[in-house]
Amino acid sequence: MSIQGIFYLIAVILIVLAALPIGTRGISLALLGAAFALLAFSWDTITA
């Protein structure tokens, strides 16, 4: 699995965890998941 695939997998896990009714203090799992999704999407451009 490529690093881009790992970033997408982490993003999906974080977004699913954000949808669950668990309380996290300080950091938003949805925003962190969105950041990983954006990182995975732009990975080819970043490493070019």
pLDDT in tens, 10-41: 999 999 999 998 877 888 999 999 999 999 99
Instruction: Look at residue 5 in the predicted model and tell me its pLDDT.
Output: 94
Q: Check: CB of residue 18 under 8 Å from CB of residue 33.
A: yes
Instruction: Look at residue 42 in the predicted model and tell me its pLDDT.
Output: 95
Residue 29's nearest CA partner among 6, 37, 41 is: 37
Instruction: Look at residue 24 in the predicted model and tell me its pLDDT.
Output: 75
CA distance 12 to 10: 6
